[in-house]
Structure 1
Amino acid sequence: MRATVDCVHCYLKQAVSCMRMAGLDEDSQHEILFKLMDYVKGLDRNATPAENSTYAVLKTYELMGVDDPYKEVKRQSNDLALELYPRLKRMLDEYGDRLHSALKIAVAGNVIDLGIRRSFDIEGELRYSMETGFSKDHYDRFKQKLENVDEVLFLGDNAGEIVFDKVLVEELVSLGKKVTYVVKEGPVLNDSTMEDAIYVGMDKVARVITTGSRFLGVSFKHMSQEFADALNKAPLIISKGQANFESLEQHEMAQDRVFFLLKIKCDEVAKAAGAALGDVVFFTV
């Protein structure tokens, strides 16, 4: 997915979120934002929104002199999600098909996205995901593919949300599948890192690796050999969130192998996914 003109204000909105999270005063925010505007002019319009967002966010960190403004709120998100975890596990038995329910629970966690939104309603998202469900749903296709593989690669997204993912990972493991869960190498917005994975116990149920970089989504120019090998060899991939979708949906390797699991949070992603703003979707291209 290529960046569009509508992506530009999102880069700046993410920068403002970072600065507010770091507690910068308004004068400092203006000063940094004006410098960032000049920087954003040089970003590649042919790159993905995720890649350009990363450059803008990391530049903001550099200008602020703060390397992880979301550190505390990521811990709070993890703690909040861990409090919900026992209830999430009970919900698997309340809504019929456990695997389908686990997918819906996992996507409900995708609302925890402090890079774009500064508040969220987890209870409302859970009700919507479980009762309304996916507007675009390739579950039957996924289940058929799953029957013929031993391993699943899971591309994670945010802190807090990782606990919702853990419910899905545990369900996959109960079906006899080995799961490799992927986090970021270092802090960027509120994306999960190895620290988050260990904190919520993901490392106890899955092999956890990093992308090898701090780039949002999947950057083919900035990844470790370990992640590249895992991505190329995986027979089935669950791709969580918008940034991973932006990175992979146009690649031939994604066809009928990568299943995108996300909440649609912007009009451009809605167009690319063939869904409506606010929908939750689970599909392959």
Structure 2
Amino acid sequence: MRCFVDCVYCYLKQAVTCMTIAGINEDRQYPILYELMDDIKIMDSRRTPAENSTELLQKVYKLINNDDPYLEAKKKSNLLALELYPELKEYLKGSKSRLNDALKISVSGNVIDLGINKSFDINASLKHSLNTGFSKDDFGSFVKKMNQENNIIILGDNAGEIVFDKLLIEELVSMGKKVTYIVKGGPVLNDATMEDAIEVGMDNIARIVTTGSNYLGAPLQKVSEETQKLLKETGLIISKGQANFESLEHEETAKDKVFFLLKIKCECVGIVAGAKFGDIVFFTR
């Protein structure tokens, strides 16, 4: 997915949100934003929004002298999600369509996105996901593909959300599948890292691999050779969140094997995905 004009606003909004969460006062934020505007002027609009956002955020981190401003927020998100985990586990036990509901629970965690928003309502997101369902739904195609594949990759997104992914993985493992869960190789926004995966016990049920990079999403030219090989050779991939969608939706290797699982939180992503703002979707290209 290439950039839209609206992405320019989001670059700056992400920077402001990041600095606010890091405790940077407004007087100090102004000169940093003015400096960032010079970088935005020369950004390549043919690249993905995720790539441009990452490089702008890397500069913000350097200017505020903080390499992980979301560290405490990530820990709080993980704790919040872990508190909900037992109740959601019980819900799935009584479900008549456990895999489908596990996917809906997984995507409900996609609301835990602190790139633009400073807060979220996870309970409202859970209710919406379970009651409303997917506006674009390729669940049938996913099941057919899953029946042909023993190995599944899940490209993770945010901290906290990772706990909801854990419920999905447990369901897949109970069906005899081997799951590899991919997290970021370094801190960026509130994206999940290896530390988050271990914190929530993901390493007990899945193989954990990092992208080898702290780029948002999974841009093939920025991730490690190991991750590139996994994405190329694995026959079924669940891609969580917008940044992963931005990175992969246009890639030929994603066709028919990458299923995008996300909440549409951006009008531009909605245009490319063929969905409306606020929708939850599960589909392949």
Q: TM-score range by the shorter chain?
A: over 0.9
Q: Secondary structure at the match of 2:159?
A: coil
- Partner of 1:127 in structure 2? 127
One-letter amino acid of the counterpart of residue 107, structure 2:
V
Q: More displaced, 191-200 or 219-228? A: 219-228
Q: More displaced, 138-147 or 36-45? A: 36-45
- Partner of 2:215 in structure 1? 215
One-letter amino acid of the counterpart of residue 250, structure 1:
H
1:39 aligned to 2:39? yes
Q: Secondary structure at the match of 1:216?
A: coil
1:96 positional shift:
1.7
Aligned-partner Cα distance in 2 for 1:26–1:90? 45
- Pairs within 5 Å for 1:1-80: 1-80=1-80
Aligned-partner Cα distance in 2 for 1:248–1:220? 8
1:260 positional shift:
0.1
One-letter amino acid of the counterpart of residue 65, structure 2:
G
1:202 positional shift:
0.6
- Partner of 2:193 in structure 1? 193
1:94 positional shift:
3.7
1:95 positional shift:
3.6
Q: Secondary structure at the match of 1:281?
A: strand
1:26 positional shift:
0.8
Q: Secondary structure at the match of 1:82?
A: helix
Which whole-Å deviations, capped at 9, do the CAs of 1:25-69 have from their partners, x for residues lacking one?
111111111111111112111000110110111111111111000
Q: Secondary structure at the match of 1:250?
A: coil
One-letter amino acid of the counterpart of residue 263, structure 1:
K
- Partner of 1:90 in structure 2? 90
Q: Secondary structure at the match of 2:281?
A: strand
Q: More displaced, 90-99 or 124-133? A: 90-99
1:117 positional shift:
1.2
Task: Give the 4+ runs in structure 1 shifted more than 6 A.
Answer: none
1:93 positional shift:
3.0
1:155 positional shift:
0.2
Q: Secondary structure at the match of 1:2?
A: coil
Q: Secondary structure at the match of 2:46?
A: coil
> 8 Å contact 2:219–2:248 — kept in the other structure?
no
> 8 Å contact 2:3–2:49 — kept in the other structure?
yes
- In the superposition, the TM-score normalised over structure 2's length comes to 0.99
Unaligned runs of at least 5 residues, structure 1: none
Aligned-partner Cα distance in 1 for 2:24–2:72? 16
Aligned-partner Cα distance in 2 for 1:79–1:100? 25
Which whole-Å deviations, capped at 9, do the CAs of 1:166-221 have from their partners, x for residues lacking one?
00011011100000000000000000000000000111100000001000001222
> 8 Å contact 2:114–2:190 — kept in the other structure?
yes
Aligned-partner Cα distance in 2 for 1:18–1:245? 22
One-letter amino acid of the counterpart of residue 11, structure 2:
Y
1:3 positional shift:
0.6
Q: Secondary structure at the match of 2:117?
A: coil
Aligned-partner Cα distance in 2 for 1:175–1:271? 35
Aligned-partner Cα distance in 1 for 2:42–2:55? 10
- Partner of 1:157 in structure 2? 157
- Pairs within 5 Å for 1:179-258: 179-258=179-258
RMSD (Å), alpha carbons: 0.7
- Pairs within 5 Å for 1:134-153: 134-153=134-153
- Partner of 2:284 in structure 1? 284
Aligned-partner Cα distance in 2 for 1:228–1:111? 27
Matched positions, count: 285
One-letter amino acid of the counterpart of residue 156, structure 2:
G
Q: What percent identity do the matched residue pairs reach?
A: 61
Q: Secondary structure at the match of 1:182?
A: strand
Which whole-Å deviations, capped at 9, do the CAs of 1:220-269 have from their partners, x for residues lacking one?
22111111111111110000000000111111111110000000001000
Aligned-partner Cα distance in 1 for 2:69–2:94? 38
Aligned-partner Cα distance in 2 for 1:71–1:154? 23
Q: Secondary structure at the match of 2:270?
A: helix
Aligned-partner Cα distance in 2 for 1:230–1:2? 24
One-letter amino acid of the counterpart of residue 125, structure 2:
E
> 8 Å contact 2:156–2:239 — kept in the other structure?
yes
Aligned-partner Cα distance in 2 for 1:135–1:222? 31
Aligned-partner Cα distance in 2 for 1:35–1:80? 36
